[in-house]
Structure 1
Amino acid sequence: MSKMRVGIIFGGRSAEHEVSLQSAYNIVNALDLSRFKPILIGIDKAGHWYFNDTFDFLINRSSNKLAVVFSKTNRQAKEACWQSLLKHIDIVFPIVHGTFGEDGCLQGLLRMAGLPFIGSDVLGSAVCMDKDISKRLLRDAGIAVTPFITVTSRNIASISFKKVVNKLGLPLFVKPANQGSSVGVSKVINQLEYYAAVKLAMGFDEKVLIESAVQNREIECAILGNEKPIASGCGEIVVSNGFYSYDNKYTNNHAAQMIVPANISVAVSEHIRYLSIKAFEVLGCAGLARVDCFLTSDNEVLINEINSLPGFTNISMYPKLWHAAGMSYSELVSRLIELALERHARCMELKIGR
């Protein structure tokens, strides 16, 4: 019996390019090679696609680091045309984090090609990526979210620092609406920092979210499934200094601690798991997602955001939570492939056109 060919698409043009390389590396290592054959599909920072099926394509053996994946001197890497992609793979694991990867763009391309792929479809991906839209949908569904104001180039002149503080208080978090991994996020405590933070966030997105800095604990929950999703136990992020920034996530190994399971009561844990599944369903997610919550001192749960394509790096919470639940990395990747095939089969049964 021939092995199923799994196309792992990684890299990309977003600010999370390097994170994507780490995720792809771990996914390749976790793939059950008795069942699946990895096909590596890299996208460089300029948006060029490369196609290969050797592990050297992802790792620079001379330095043993994830680097120089797309070097012109790498003769094994060749730019892939879409026809080659369709011919050589059976299913896609799109692990391109951030813009053009988890915002529905890549998912739309895969749907057009008729390829099964892991994760949410076009709408679920786009909605989860846009923190403004996702918060509005969750709020309308009766799920509590962190208080926020949305700023765009159209209304920025009318939203003064004073107006924001009167509604949200201090300190504040300012973030691009369509970014992940805390890219472009700032914590501000005064007017000077506020305008600098808005300018920074506007450099990453045309829409910016300003949120209350709620005194809280950061709790995360992993979701797995399609029509009947299940929730993992809860984990907690404890940051020793500042907030859970990009550097604290991926650069400074001592800035944050992941506690799995979270030191919370059974009742609170069950409530978070219930809300996480509900949020997953409200936003139209499929396959997998990580739900990030805030837990206040009086045990109120606020949904911060839903990541429809969570990281698979060595420090990523999503695989850690499932490992704590008794599911190995390899079993998790295999299950995600199975879920993608199930969803694709149902999509193929739908009538197209009139």
Structure 2
Amino acid sequence: MAKKKKVAILYGGRSVEHAVSVNSARNIFEFLDKSKFEPVAIGISKGGQWFLTEGVGKDIEKGKAVSLTLNPAKPSFTVIKSGDKFTVDILFPVLHGTDGEDGSIQGLIKAMDLPMVGTGVLGSSLSMNKIVAKRLLREAGLPVTDFLTFRYDEKDKISFNALSKKLGLPFMVKSASLGSSVGVTKVKTKKDFKAAVEEAFKYDDEMLAEEYITGRELECAVLGNNPPEASLPGEIVISKNYEFYTFDAKYVDPDAVRIDVPAKLSKPVAEKIRKASVKAFEALHCLDFSRIDLFLDKKGNIYINEINTIPGFTNSSMFPMMWKERGISFPDLITRLLNLAQERYDRGKRIERDFQSALKF
């Protein structure tokens, strides 16, 4: 019998999406195929300290504090109190938002030369920053909403009148590098504007204001590499009690949305969305898996809203639902992601990291 691979599930983190990460990781820990893999839960506290935990839960700091040996030839973890060491075969970051989805953790894992599920440093950082992502998507010929961007030092110069003239009313104000609708406000009047700007800059040094699209909110799951494939789109039908798809609508209120998987779309429109989703995935250098969020207006135009390189795996998350509709169960989906990561890591071994020259040093 083949030896089980140890899979370190990284969860929690220094992010406003900490609780979402815990819920996602709990499902991955539970549904991981235990006949092939051995899960190792490593929680990262809100303060940034790493702990080995019994399973996945919110009480991360009750675990055993660990450190990582900075040696890519033999990367290992050490339980600080006892000095016991342990190794893992592959890492699965289930960290949403800041420090988890922006390339930070990905860079650490790459430096340690360990296989890792998901998009690397470049794609993570590109996708996390909504401003950079929109510019690159637009450069790739993909449709995005009109938008304007601002730095924190420009905060007092931002003009409601100029924005409403350019973008129309209502418009959206967002922190540049957050997810789960944190730092996002729908601005309908000048009265809403100042609080919206304060909210956006509360979480980031950059904000964007963008056109509000009246239409349907769609998502498409992308899986694989060379080439990636897209699921059928799903639709999020939001209750009239909500102005848009807020954090509470996503994670707190069970009656806030109805999820249709697949979405009720004509075949040409569904195919258009699938092709655009794969193109967006490739344009932002994503790997293994991502969820692409889109809008469909009443005229049939689609707009790429954003890309989530570590989409949620909670009970209400669309990514696993969309693949379940395609016949891939939750355990099989996790196995496929781990295999994709290992294959990519093995393929990357062909790349030389030494250059022989006549240079003396």
| TM-score when normalising by structure 1 | 0.94
Post-superposition Cα deviations, 1:219-274, rounded to whole Å, max 9, x if no partner, equal 10000011210000110011112210001000111011111110110110000000
Alpha-carbon distance between aligned partners in 1 of 2:211 and 2:170, rounded to the nearest angstrom = 7
**Distance change (3 Å), C-alpha of 1:197 and 1:353:** farther
1:81 to 56, 60, 67: 67
| TM-score when normalising by structure 2 | 0.92
Post-superposition Cα deviations, 1:72-102, rounded to whole Å, max 9, x if no partner, equal xxxxx21111034384210000001110000
Post-superposition Cα deviations, 1:86-143, rounded to whole Å, max 9, x if no partner, equal 8421000000111000000000000000011000010000011000000000001110
Alpha-carbon distance between aligned partners in 2 of 1:252 and 1:175, rounded to the nearest angstrom = 22
Q: Is the 8 A contact 2:145 2:210 kept in 1?
A: yes
Aligned to 1:63: none
Alpha-carbon distance between aligned partners in 1 of 2:164 and 2:77, rounded to the nearest angstrom = 51
Alpha-carbon distance between aligned partners in 1 of 2:226 and 2:93, rounded to the nearest angstrom = 21
Letter aligned with residue 67 of structure 2: C
Aligned to 2:81: none
Cα distance, 1:287 vs structure 2: 0.4
Alpha-carbon distance between aligned partners in 1 of 2:91 and 2:119, rounded to the nearest angstrom = 12
Where 1:201 maps in the other structure, the secondary structure is: helix
Cα distance, 1:192 vs structure 2: 2.3
Aligned to 2:191: 192
Alpha-carbon distance between aligned partners in 2 of 1:124 and 1:29, rounded to the nearest angstrom = 28
Cα distance, 1:48 vs structure 2: 0.7
Cα distance, 1:34 vs structure 2: 0.5
1:103 equivalent to 2:102? Answer: yes
Where 1:214 maps in the other structure, the secondary structure is: coil
Cα RMSD over matched residues?
Answer: 1.2
Alpha-carbon distance between aligned partners in 2 of 1:221 and 1:8, rounded to the nearest angstrom = 24
Alpha-carbon distance between aligned partners in 2 of 1:78 and 1:159, rounded to the nearest angstrom = 47
Cα distance, 1:348 vs structure 2: 1.8
Aligned to 1:62: none
Cα distance, 1:285 vs structure 2: 0.2
Alpha-carbon distance between aligned partners in 1 of 2:31 and 2:219, rounded to the nearest angstrom = 23
Aligned to 2:303: 302
Aligned to 2:200: 201
Q: Is the 8 A contact 2:14 2:45 kept in 1?
A: yes
Letter aligned with residue 216 of structure 2: R
Aligned to 1:137: 136
Letter aligned with residue 101 of structure 2: E
Aligned to 1:68: 59
Aligned to 1:171: 170
Aligned to 1:341: 342
Aligned to 1:249: 250
Alpha-carbon distance between aligned partners in 1 of 2:152 and 2:180, rounded to the nearest angstrom = 24
Aligned to 2:72: none
Unaligned runs of 5+ in 1: 60-66, 72-76
Cα distance, 1:157 vs structure 2: 4.1
Post-superposition Cα deviations, 1:157-216, rounded to whole Å, max 9, x if no partner, equal 443111101100000111101000101111111112111101111010000011111111
Aligned to 2:326: 325
Cα distance, 1:68 vs structure 2: 2.1
Cα distance, 1:30 vs structure 2: 1.2
Cα distance, 1:70 vs structure 2: 2.0
Unaligned runs of 5+ in 2: 70-75, 79-85, 356-361
Alpha-carbon distance between aligned partners in 2 of 1:316 and 1:272, rounded to the nearest angstrom = 19
Cα distance, 1:29 vs structure 2: 1.1
Cα distance, 1:349 vs structure 2: 1.4
Q: Is the 8 A contact 2:11 2:94 kept in 1?
A: yes
Q: Is the 8 A contact 2:130 2:177 kept in 1?
A: yes
Alpha-carbon distance between aligned partners in 1 of 2:219 and 2:206, rounded to the nearest angstrom = 25
Where 2:142 maps in the other structure, the secondary structure is: coil
Aligned to 1:74: none
Letter aligned with residue 247 of structure 1: D
Post-superposition Cα deviations, 1:9-66, rounded to whole Å, max 9, x if no partner, equal 00001000000000010001110100000001000111110014x32xx24xxxxxxx
Aligned to 1:32: 33
Cα distance, 1:353 vs structure 2: 4.0
Count of residue pairs brought into register by the alignment:
339
Alpha-carbon distance between aligned partners in 2 of 1:282 and 1:69, rounded to the nearest angstrom = 36
1:112 equivalent to 2:111? Answer: yes
Where 1:70 maps in the other structure, the secondary structure is: helix
Letter aligned with residue 112 of structure 1: A
Letter aligned with residue 331 of structure 1: D
Aligned to 2:273: 272
Alpha-carbon distance between aligned partners in 1 of 2:314 and 2:25, rounded to the nearest angstrom = 8
Written as runs of structure 1 = structure 2, the 5 A alignment for 1:190-229 is 190-229=189-228
Alpha-carbon distance between aligned partners in 2 of 1:174 and 1:118, rounded to the nearest angstrom = 32
Alpha-carbon distance between aligned partners in 1 of 2:93 and 2:174, rounded to the nearest angstrom = 25
Cα distance, 1:69 vs structure 2: 2.9
Alpha-carbon distance between aligned partners in 2 of 1:85 and 1:252, rounded to the nearest angstrom = 39
Q: Is the 8 A contact 2:44 2:60 kept in 1?
A: no
Cα distance, 1:151 vs structure 2: 1.3
Letter aligned with residue 80 of structure 1: V
Alpha-carbon distance between aligned partners in 2 of 1:214 and 1:40, rounded to the nearest angstrom = 40
Alpha-carbon distance between aligned partners in 2 of 1:283 and 1:342, rounded to the nearest angstrom = 21
